[in-house]
Amino acid sequence: MATEAPPPPRDGAGTPAGPVPPTTEQFVEVQESAEFGELRRTYRSFAFPLTIAFIAWYLLYVLLSNYAGGFMGTKLFGNVNVALVLGLGQFATTFLIAWLYSRHAAARLDPKAEAIKHRMEADA
């Protein structure tokens, strides 16, 4: 059962007050397009490997904390030990990944998404 977009809002004179929203069929057509597939591949090729790497890095930290207490307690200098350095590394890694994703999205994802959005709005 196809769903049509609701009629656009009208102003006092009876003319459309804004752009007509795309229909369900238009959304499905864009979702099945090669261009949208490329956008998804570009996103996944960045997000999935970094997510897996970060989870592995986090689990390594947790496992070392649980099972390698002697190693994690090794003092590097003053009262700073391996556990503290690796724990702070978790925060640094989080901010690094966020910064890298922001750059990746601005350079590779946003232009493709904007082109798809522009075309959908022009067709509507």
pLDDT digits (tens, 9 = 90+) for 53-80: 999 999 999 999 999 999 999 999 999 9
Contacts of residue 100, defined as CB under 8 A and 6 or more positions apart, other chains included, come to 50
94 found inside a domain: yes
Q: What is the pLDDT of residue 16?
A: 58
Domain range for 90: 24-123
Domain count, the chain: 1
Q: Is residue 18 part of a domain?
A: no
Q: Is residue 9 part of a domain?
A: no
The per-residue pLDDT of the chain, averaged, comes to 87
SS (HEC) of 12-31: CCCCECCCCCCCHHHHHHHH
Question: How far is the CA of 116 from the CAs of 16, 35, 40, 91, 111, in angstroms?
Answer: 24, 8, 12, 35, 9
Residue 117 lies in a domain: yes
Q: Is residue 63 a part of any domain in this protein?
A: yes
Whether 34 contacts 115, CB under 8 Å:
no
Is 16 among the domain residues? no
Q: Does a structural domain hold residue 89? A: yes
